[in-house]
Amino acid sequence: MTTPGHDRDKTGRVRPRRALGPALIVEDDSLIALDLAEALAEAGADPVLTCPSIAEAMEELSRAVPAVLVLDVHLADRDDGWALAELAMQLGEAKPLVLFTTATPDSIPESARRLGHVIAKPFRTEDLISVIYRERPAGLLDRLRGALSKPG
């Protein structure tokens, strides 16, 4: 049996179904950040970086815009984490897939909601990965890789 987002290759090893690209997690709860990082890495994100604050996340964004941005909107240093999503949308040619995670989803302004998906805490990491896979369809190389790895 494989976990969501995984297949077994010809040797029986579990591998991610597809590459997701780089991911940035902005979360001040270290246990949640660790759980999310592990789930994203297993789902095919590489590299996966975590930041506990908006300030640190801004430093990371100055280096590169991730393909996936998982963002807790209420952090210790700022209570408007969606501002980081707005910034990330302006920095690169490719827009990141933004996933807002929060225990208070109603606190996110409608203008910010349009930037991504709101996932209410608590949530299962499998549900977050499902949203990513739904919103980031597999590219040509991933489809070819999947077709070549099927038995038969």
Domains defined for the chain, CATH in brackets: 15-134 (3.40.50.2300)
What is the torsional sign of CA 22, 30, 98, 55?
A: negative
**In this predicted model, what pLDDT tens digit does every residue of 124-149 receive, in sequence order?**
999 999 999 998 765 544 444 455 55
The pLDDT, as a whole number, for residue 119 is: 95
Mean pLDDT, the chain, rounded, equals 83
CA 141 distance to own-chain centroid? 20
In whole angstroms, give the CA distance from residue 11 to residue 50: 32
pLDDT band (50, 70, 90) for residue 89: confident
Tell me the residue ranges of DSSP E strands in 29-107.
Answer: 45-51, 68-72, 97-102
pLDDT, position 14: 46
pLDDT band per the 50, 70, 90 thresholds, residue 121:
very high
Residue 7 has pLDDT above 80, yes or no: no
Q: Which of 6-10, 58-62, 80-84 has the highest mean pLDDT?
A: 58-62
Instruction: Give the pLDDT confidence score for residue 151 in this predicted structure.
Output: 57
CB atoms within 10 A of CB 106: 7
